[in-house]
Amino acid sequence: EVQLVETGGGLVQPGRSLKLSCVASGFTFNNYWMSWTRQAPGKGLEWVASITNSGGSTYYPDSVKGRFTISRDNAQNTLYLQMNSLRSEDTATYYCTRSNGGSSFDYWGQGVMVTVSS
């Protein structure tokens, strides 16, 4: 059974940093691209970052480029999201997702809440 378990969320002040982790199990982690997608309270979904299966390439939308860094440790089956210079608009539930089938997101974690507020 595929499982994605996120940790690391919480309350953080604007301008500070936070690092999310996602431990994957039930599949061969290093065979898949992985991604982070977020959802602000009461709002829709926004893709945040993706990383190739080897970790050699990463992709971001302009809204987080230069502030967020996605990375992975294939030996530990773990995906990370380092978030710097956090803003109030980064407040959201962050989901770890597996990319498959034409870059759809075929499995999602339960999500972790990040609140950016003073």
Our finding on whether 1 is near other proteins (CB under 8 A) is: no
Stretch that binds other proteins, among 8-16, 68-76, 83-91, 99-107 (CB under 8 A): 99-107
Question: Of 63, 83, 66, which is closest to residue 21 (Cα–Cα)?
Answer: 83
Our finding on whether 61 is near other proteins (CB under 8 A) is: yes
* Residue 4 CB coordination number (10 Å): 21
DSSP annotation of 56 reads: S
Please state the closest distance from residue 76 (CB atom) to other proteins, in A. 23
By CB under 8 A, name the one of 74, 100, 113, 115 that touches other proteins.
Answer: 100
| Residue type, position 79, single letter | L
Q: Which of residues 41-60 bind other proteins (CB under 8 A)?
A: 44-47, 50, 59-60
